[in-house]
Structure 1
């Protein structure tokens, strides 16, 4: 088994057999922290404790953009000299050195100078942050998204029971009574405002039913509106997938989140007008559109009726039988010519047939028979032309004009 070995700067080793006592560890931590030396720190005051009978002032200093804080101890004279009106929520710059108290195992800052940040310096810092965010494209107009015409649900981040919350809810529901809200109440000023607002934004942005997020706060001083110019909050708004409407303060107020948000509303009431349409206006617009549609449809029907009337007034449509009558006369004339031509041909063919029949009758053997002549034929149909063509006893057929006779050649009739 290999034991873990820790060696300090002096060469002493800490092993499982020779562990360091707590006091040694505390001393070494204090030495390491003491190497940081004196530093300048920027933060926001969340607590100031002045204990009666002592000259020590305890200050809790918090990061304006993160949920992190440090304890600062200083002399009352230092506070009275650099920040005589120091109170919770103030922005200060502290010159301090970190100290580790071995007895309590805690870390704090020992300050020898405190400067309260004035309004001019705050505005200068905000201008620096504004230029930085603008250079990174957080204010770009092309990245701003259009708000939906009628959101299914609206997320509202505002102070608890605030006038801004009442203005947004009342005016939005007056315009569209069926609108649904998910309200998250947060601190809108002070050291805890930025983390709470960022958390609320993340919750609403992950909610798939939310179509629009509204940040709303009433008016106030520049110091009161500082959380809405915080860089971390601006980046959180920029990262939202859901369109964000900023409704902070009044028309002259312009916190940095206004430039990052997709839509900037001058007041919370103006935000309510931007996120939902007015039901009365929409009903009126629908009525106007219906009237325009009716007029357009009537105009179309009138034009088509005129076209039909014009078509029906044409002679071929108004009196269609005229063309049929003309064609009927033409057909009758053609049929009459065809009938006469056929009859003429039939007459000529009949006359020619009669002439042919007359010639046939003249030349026909039957006409000869009618004059008393007869035709003698043998049994095989051959015509007997001379007595020697038959033999005695041969049967013959004698053809007359009105019938036939059977005869037998006698022996003596064959003699010449």
Structure 2
């Protein structure tokens, strides 16, 4: 198909654009489409029936027309179907729809097979890995709760949580929990709660139901939204036997909404009892320690007296031994000094002039006191000193 050449000076009419769009769409031919019936208006007596087909994983829908005999009676709003249709562009309104020639309801077995394929795909991406699970806060400031309005699931979560922790705070998001709008509403509520800084944990709760009723909680869009959430998410869907994909991606899968109410908050009574038990055990330990210390302290004076007596006795013995050793050392030093002194005295005596005089020598001085060393120096009256004393003599020639 040739491209339209246009400009501001030579625009094309709307009809030409519409015709060209219709031609392009017509070239698509018949296709098979998978979707969920969002709206269905059966018109008795009308040859043409109208329905809205919605993508279960996105907020996108299209109008579908079909002959009355093509639409099975088993198809109702919320049914999953595949249909063979041709795209139809309505020129007068510029709208696009599908003109179906065959519609087949998707059976439960096929739905379960698709869910299993989706589970394997998401598991391969690591969305269900254990190391992605985040621990729940011990004492959440606010609990975000996504559930149906005035539902039994809402009552079970709130009542059981407040029974364990009176005054537990909730931020409720009431949404459709089945049907064509359920996925979109749950995802939007999840994102609102995830943005709230006061919400520490989010619970998605719904009561039991058929596999078809619980399909929104195995929807890929919802599973990925939970995986992307920054706040820990608790899945509380149906009964213990129900196992939607939400259970696999959530940080905690509660068996029932009642179980979720018990697991998101601590049991105040049990915690109080635990604190009381710890306090009692601490008191018992302290009393036992004080009793031991008291027993030890009661015998302390006598032990101290014995210790002091023994120490004093030992110190006295050590002092006496030291005194005896000091006396012996001093006497030894004195004896050695006395011997050295006698030896020095003997040497000094042997070297003194008196010792020389005792051997018969004499010291001769002249009258002026000078010592006479040669005969020439002897003249006049001399003073002679011998060992026994002194006397005078006259020098003779």
- Does residue 206 of structure 1 match 2:195? yes
Size of the alignment, in residue pairs?
A: 390
- Find the aligned partners of 1:300 and 1:137 in 2 and give their Cα distance: 54
- Does residue 315 of structure 1 match 2:309? no
Which secondary structure state, in structure 2, belongs to the residue aligned with residue 14 of structure 1? coil
Alignment of 1:17-32 (within 5 A): 17-32=9-24
**CA displacement, residues 168-201 of structure 1 (integer Å, 9 cap, x when unaligned):** 1111111111322211111111111111111111
Q: 1:181 aligns with which of 165, 170, 192?
A: 170
Structure 1: runs of 5 or more not aligned: 1-7, 338-416
Give the deviation of 1:287 after TM superposition: 1.5
Which secondary structure state, in structure 1, belongs to the residue aligned with residue 57 of structure 2? coil
Give the deviation of 1:305 after TM superposition: 4.9
**CA displacement, residues 229-251 of structure 1 (integer Å, 9 cap, x when unaligned):** 00111111111121111000011
Which secondary structure state, in structure 2, belongs to the residue aligned with residue 281 of structure 1? helix
- Does residue 162 of structure 1 match 2:151? yes
Which secondary structure state, in structure 2, belongs to the residue aligned with residue 107 of structure 1? strand
- Find the aligned partners of 2:28 and 2:252 in 1 and give their Cα distance: 45
- Find the aligned partners of 1:149 and 1:68 in 2 and give their Cα distance: 40
Q: Which residue of 2 aligns with 1:215?
A: 204
Which secondary structure state, in structure 2, belongs to the residue aligned with residue 211 of structure 1? strand
Q: 1:312 to 1:31 in 2, by over 3 A?
A: farther
Give the deviation of 1:23 after TM superposition: 1.6
Give the deviation of 1:18 after TM superposition: 3.2
- Find the aligned partners of 2:303 and 2:81 in 1 and give their Cα distance: 93
Q: 1:140 aligns with which of 129, 134, 139?
A: 129
Alignment of 1:392-407 (within 5 A): none
Q: 1:229 aligns with which of 204, 215, 218?
A: 218
Which secondary structure state, in structure 2, belongs to the residue aligned with residue 13 of structure 1? coil
Alignment of 1:280-319 (within 5 A): 280-305=269-294, 309=299, 312=303, 315-317=306-308
Which deviates further from its counterpart, 285-294 or 162-171?
Answer: 285-294
Give the deviation of 1:218 after TM superposition: 0.8
- Find the aligned partners of 1:307 and 1:44 in 2 and give their Cα distance: 84
- Find the aligned partners of 2:208 and 2:86 in 1 and give their Cα distance: 38
- Does residue 37 of structure 1 match 2:26? no
TM-score (norm. length: structure 1): 0.74
Give the deviation of 1:77 after TM superposition: 0.3
- Find the aligned partners of 1:328 and 1:335 in 2 and give their Cα distance: 10
Q: Which residue of 2 aligns with 1:54?
A: 46
Give the deviation of 1:314 after TM superposition: 7.7
Alignment of 1:114-153 (within 5 A): 114-153=103-142
**CA displacement, residues 19-56 of structure 1 (integer Å, 9 cap, x when unaligned):** 22222221111101111111111111111112343211
Q: 1:245 aligns with which of 234, 246, 270?
A: 234
Q: 1:317 to 1:269 in 2, by over 3 A?
A: farther
- Find the aligned partners of 1:165 and 1:43 in 2 and give their Cα distance: 30
Which secondary structure state, in structure 1, belongs to the residue aligned with residue 75 of structure 2? coil
- Does residue 78 of structure 1 match 2:65? no
Q: Given that residues 50 and 56 in structure 1 are in contact (C-alpha distance below 8 angstroms), is that contact kept between their aligned partners in structure 2?
A: no
Which secondary structure state, in structure 2, belongs to the residue aligned with residue 190 of structure 1? coil
Give the deviation of 1:293 after TM superposition: 2.1
**CA displacement, residues 89-125 of structure 1 (integer Å, 9 cap, x when unaligned):** 1111111111100012111100000001111111111
- Find the aligned partners of 2:151 and 2:9 in 1 and give their Cα distance: 63
- Find the aligned partners of 1:293 and 1:70 in 2 and give their Cα distance: 70
- Find the aligned partners of 1:12 and 1:141 in 2 and give their Cα distance: 56
TM-score (norm. length: structure 2): 0.77
